[in-house]
Amino acid sequence: MDNEKKEQVKEPFFTQDEAAVLKQMQTSEEGLTSQEAEKRIAEYGPNQLDEGKTKSLLMKFLDQFKDFMIIVLLVAAVVSGVFGDISDAVIILVVVILNAVLGVVQEAKAEEAINALREMSSPEAKVRRDGTVVSLKSDQLVPGDIVLLEAGNIVPADLRLIEIASLQIEEAGLTGESVPVDKELTILEDVKAGIGDRTNMAFMNSNVTYGRGEGIVVGTGMSTEVGHIAEMLASTEETMTPLQNNLNRLGKYLTVAILVIAVVMFVVGMLNGREWLDMLLTSISLAVAAIPEGLPAIVTIILALGTQKMAKRKALVRKLPAVETLGSTDIICSDKTGTLTMNKMTVEKMYFNGQIQDNEEPIDMQTPVLRSMVYANDTQISGDGTLIGDPTETALIQFALNKGVDVVAALKKEPRVAEVPFDSERKLMSTVHKQEDGKFLIAAKGAPDELLKRCTQIDRNGTIEPLDEETKQAILDMNHDLATQALRVLSMAYKVVDNMPTDISSAGLEQELVYAGMTGMIDPEREEAKDAVRVAREAGIRPIMITGDHRDTAEAIAKRLGILEEQQKDGVITGAELDEISDADFATRVKDYSVYARVSPQHKVRIVKAWQKAGKIVAMTGDGVNDAPALKTADIGIGMGITGTEVSKGASDMVLADDNFSTIVVAVEEGRKVFSNIQKSIQYLLSANLGEVLTLFIATLLGWSILAPVHILWINLVTDTFPAIALGLEPAEADSMKQPPRGKKATFFSNGVLSSIIYQGILEGGITLFVYWWATHNPVHVGNNELIHSDALTMAFITLGLLQLFHAFNVKSVEKSLFTVGFFKNKMFNLAILVSGALLAVVVLVPGLNDAFKVSHLDLQQWLLVLGASFSIIPIVEIIKIGLRAVHKKG
């Protein structure tokens, strides 16, 4: 076998007949010889997925320092340590390292997806080698092997089926389709057929739910469909979250602003005749003071607090920035099965006696349609009541149980004595049951059109009547009507015979039956998901449904959920139709579609990228292997905790512990709150730092010695940390879920925050300078310049600190009045203000400490001025907010 054979041939295996595939794979129905298998495993390698590249713990730690803001802080620490105060440098380094450690801890499992894929392989497989069936480890399979499948097996490699007997395989992990696929040997003509339509193929890691079969191994390891997904996942680039982009932009803005301020101050000082070294140190001190060194840690803590709140509400965050990203989401691309729906087939409609009824209406075991669906059924009921079997059949039994039927007792009373198993060609199954009167009941179920061909009579309210053409057409019309509602329809029939049938075959049992009725089943939408879709749309978020199901099923569920309007005729596209559209055209047309049916993993990634190209922030939910690449490509990937594969969880930024779509809405609200609270913290920190910078800058220009480095350091330490963190605990504003998403271009300075930082920083600096001026011109110790200066410095120090604490109340909302938001709703915030205020005051009030900080005791008049001036920032900002609201209302 040459290298060319390792590559997939141009003609797919599902379009070739059995002989052509056997010839191409150089094998036979007797299987490979052991010698040939050894050659091939040496050539192809073991049947397992590549582990992929993983980052070491050290590399993950170093990655935390790539953030621009962190780099600025590190430079500031070095400069401060060389030219300024070593304590500043130590504090900055401690903050940066702590931030990196927290980041590594939270993201330690970021690269588990490939490993999870690799570990999903089936441990053993039955293989025909040297003409004999043997059991081998699945990693020993090679192309050309003949594999035997039976119910309960995990398919160990990609197979072209060559023999089947009622074979059904559940492929939800690859296709998203909730119903097992009936496998057929029919050769397909469409070379572009999607995975879900390749009925003569079996795929690695799918589950055999019914029947048996044999197949030729045509793909192993990374050459399988799962392997292609793993390859896509490994090559997918990590996207920068909006939060990371915002922090990088903020770092750049601050760097430019700080450098400009430092240079201007240095030049002005030199022009005023100051020593160059003195001005250099002063400029550096001012620059370091302007940097909010606690910001990265505060952001990390706010995010961590957000993750804790979300965890209590069943949303588990694996990567810290994901908390905020979901809050800025424009598009939620959601898998249908198990996320928007129950992932559980359910009887929704019943048709018998010429009438249709919903599943809530009464029905009992005396009704032939219910009796037939219970008897012609292979579901097993375990000791704990769990139903084991095909999802369609277990749905029928669950329906009977819900109606109070004792299924076990019924089968004991009229036991099965013979059967004709389901066959995908005739699409029927029948069972024979011995009745108490000695007669025998034949129960049958199957495809409506096929079963109807075998019926000559119909049961109407217990009366057996001939089945005429008009009645047959009415039944077929009802079947069509139910099918257009995306319901999976099954018909039931029966007949009673005096003696045990001797011909146990389709010809012997499935003739001259009495038609009993039909059922319509569906994997129903979650009720809470319907509400979640509505709330998401109110919040300006567009839900997009992506599924492997058929177009009609997808469209019907989307309309029931509210993703599509009831009368909407468009908005749905299939994977095959998507293949006909170029990437460029799709980027312009992506807004036209809300539902994607019969899609492959490549389609999902295309959809996410097209929305991202349109400037939207995209979230992707999913639970299957097929979702992993798109989960990783999306701005935020949301995995399912219960039904989700380890692959999807490993590729996700966040996992829903309850698999509940409505939890996403909770997470969106929490994410919006987190961004808003980070924005508040930034507004608080930068306005405070601007106040400090303006105070020092103007004081230097005026020749005032207003604050020493230790005062700035203590104010930053006491007033920055606790209030800023406590702002992260602010409750969400009442209208947060009525606002549209921020958009990709939004920054921490959007929505009036930048102008608020500027005018509030000016207010803080101006009030502090006013208090210093007043203290120097209205001294308590007249004639003693040293005491006058000490009092003025102390009053300026306390005023600047208290101003920041009182100002923290202002930033609870950019525009809303503090009286609307509430003074004391956030208990942790109130405690933080009290603690910070006490730490600030203790420096002045405690003997010994005031000497260390070079401050003096103040009398009552001075304290009243300090408190009044500090508190004044609240009413001043309230008045300005009134003006802002009036301007915006007019606008």
Residue 305: pLDDT over 80 = no
Question: Do the domain assignments include residue 275?
Answer: no
Task: Assign 238 a pLDDT band (cuts: 50, 70, 90).
Answer: low
Residue 232: pLDDT over 80 = no
Q: What confidence tens digit (pLDDT) does each residue in 349-401 have?
A: 999 999 999 988 999 999 999 999 999 998 888 878 888 888 889 999 999 99
752 exposure class (CB count in 10 Å sphere: 0-12, 13-18, 19+)? middle
Q: Are residues 644 and 671 in the same domain?
A: no
Strands 488-497 and 572-574: unpaired
- Listed residue (533, 583, 580) closest to 558, CA to CA: 533
Residue 438: pLDDT over 80 = yes
The pLDDT value recorded for residue 197 is: 86
Q: Are residues 535 and 591 in the same domain?
A: yes
Question: Do the domain assignments include residue 281?
Answer: no
The pLDDT value recorded for residue 88 is: 58
Q: Are residues 792 and 818 in the same domain?
A: yes
Q: In this structure, which long-range contacts are made by residues 701-704, counting pairs with CB atoms below 8 Å and at least 24 apart in sequence?
A: 701/268, 701/272, 703/272, 704/772
Question: Do the domain assignments include residue 264?
Answer: no
What is the Cα–Cα distance from 310 to 657, expressed in whole angstroms?
10
Residue 422: pLDDT over 90 = no
Q: Are residues 671 and 635 in the same domain?
A: no
The pLDDT value recorded for residue 85 is: 59
Task: Assign 240 a pLDDT band (cuts: 50, 70, 90).
Answer: low
What is the Cα–Cα distance from 329 to 746, expressed in whole angstroms?
12
Instruction: Of 28-42, 45-59, 304-318, give the lowest mean pLDDT range.
Output: 45-59
CA angle 469, 474, 479 (to 5 degrees): 125
Task: Assign 592 a pLDDT band (cuts: 50, 70, 90).
Answer: very high
Instruction: Of 60-69, 666-675, 757-766, 782-791, give the lowest mean pLDDT range.
Output: 60-69
Three-state DSSP class for residue 652: coil
What is the Cα–Cα distance from 77 to 868, expressed in whole angstroms?
36
The pLDDT value recorded for residue 739 is: 84
The pLDDT value recorded for residue 112 is: 46
Which residue type is seen at 561? L
Give the domain-ending residue among 496, 520, 544. Answer: 520
Q: What confidence tens digit (pLDDT) does each residue in 480-504 have?
A: 999 888 888 999 999 999 999 999 9
Question: Do the domain assignments include residue 96?
Answer: yes
Q: Are residues 601 and 635 in the same domain?
A: yes
CATH of the domain at 454: 3.40.1110.10
Give the tokens for residue 192.
């572009």
Q: Are residues 45 and 85 in the same domain?
A: no
240 compared with 445, residue with greater pLDDT: 445
Q: Are residues 754 and 857 in the same domain?
A: yes
This prediction has a pTM of 0.68
Q: Are residues 93 and 156 in the same domain?
A: no
486-522 burial: b if 16+ Cβ within 10 Å, else e: bbbbbbbbbbeeeeeeeeeebeebbeebbbbbbbbbb
Share of the chain above pLDDT 90, in %: 37
Task: Assign 648 a pLDDT band (cuts: 50, 70, 90).
Answer: confident
CATH of the domain at 17: 2.70.150.10
Give the domain-ending residue among 520, 542, 569. Answer: 520
The pLDDT value recorded for residue 263 is: 82
What is the Cα–Cα distance from 202 to 876, expressed in whole angstroms?
72
Total number of domains constituting the chain: 5
What 3 state SS string does 93-160 have?
A: HHHHHHHHHHHHHHCCCCCCHHHHHHHCCCCEEEEEECCEEEEEEHHHCCCCCEEEEECCCECCCEEE
Residue 1: pLDDT over 50 = no
Q: Are residues 474 and 569 in the same domain?
A: no
Task: Assign 427 a pLDDT band (cuts: 50, 70, 90).
Answer: confident
> What is each CA distance from 761 to 117, 688, 728, 766, 888, in whole angstroms?
53, 6, 21, 8, 22
Residues 6+ apart with CB under 8 A from 532: 661, 662, 664, 665
Let me know if 335 is a catalytic residue.
yes
Place of tokens 């079963």: 451
Which residue type is seen at 676? S
Q: What confidence tens digit (pLDDT) does each residue in 321-360 have?
A: 777 778 888 999 888 877 788 878 899 999 999 999 998 8
Question: Do the domain assignments include residue 689?
Answer: yes
What is the Cα–Cα distance from 141 to 122, expressed in whole angstroms?
11
What is the Cα–Cα distance from 763 to 249, expressed in whole angstroms?
26
Phi then psi dihedrals of residue 211, to 5 deg: 75, -160
The pLDDT value recorded for residue 467 is: 94
Strands 331-335 and 618-622: parallel
Which residue type is seen at 322? A
Mean pLDDT of 641-656: 76
**Which domain covers residue 164, as residue numbers?**
3-51+116-235
Place of tokens 């119910």: 151
Asked if 769 and 687 count as a contact pair (C-beta separation under 8 A), the reply is no
Residue 746: pLDDT over 80 = no
The pLDDT value recorded for residue 276 is: 72
884 compared with 9, residue with greater pLDDT: 884
DSSP 731: P
Q: Are residues 90 and 142 in the same domain?
A: no
Question: Do the domain assignments include residue 207?
Answer: yes
Backbone dihedral region of 741: left (phi > 0), alpha (psi from -120 to 50 degrees) or beta?
Answer: beta
Q: What confidence tens digit (pLDDT) does each residue in 721-744 have?
A: 788 888 888 887 777 888 888 777
Task: Estimate the share of the chain in helix, then strand, then coil, as percent rounded to the nearest 5.
Answer: 55, 15, 30
The pLDDT value recorded for residue 117 is: 40
> What is each CA distance from 107 to 64, 308, 331, in whole angstroms?
10, 15, 24
CA 293 to chain CA centroid, Å, is: 32
Give the domain-ending residue among 634, 659, 684. Answer: 659
The pLDDT value recorded for residue 258 is: 74
CATH of the domain at 649: 3.40.50.1000
Q: Are residues 730 and 865 in the same domain?
A: yes
Dihedral sign for Cα atoms in the order 354, 359, 365, 366:
negative
Q: What confidence tens digit (pLDDT) does each residue in 144-174 have?
A: 999 999 877 889 999 999 999 888 888 876 7
Residue-by-residue DSSP string for 163-179: EEEEEEEE-HHHH---S
What is the Cα–Cα distance from 816 to 764, expressed in whole angstroms?
20
What is the Cα–Cα distance from 260 to 268, expressed in whole angstroms?
12
353 compared with 843, residue with greater pLDDT: 353
Residue 226: pLDDT over 70 = yes
The pLDDT value recorded for residue 489 is: 93
What is the Cα–Cα distance from 886 to 880, expressed in whole angstroms?
10
Which of 335, 390, 459, 549 is catalytic? The answer is: 335
CATH of the domain at 798: 1.20.1110.10
What is the Cα–Cα distance from 654 to 316, expressed in whole angstroms?
6
Q: Are residues 351 and 420 in the same domain?
A: yes
What is the Cα–Cα distance from 712 to 220, expressed in whole angstroms?
66
What is the Cα–Cα distance from 380 to 387, expressed in whole angstroms?
6
Question: Do the domain assignments include residue 247?
Answer: no
Partners of residue 165 on adjacent β-strands? 212
Q: What confidence tens digit (pLDDT) does each residue in 86-145 have?
A: 665 665 576 567 656 655 664 554 344 334 444 444 467 899 999 888 988 888 999 999
Task: Assign 200 a pLDDT band (cuts: 50, 70, 90).
Answer: very high
Which residue type is seen at 178? S
Residue 637: pLDDT over 80 = yes
Question: Do the domain assignments include residue 284?
Answer: no
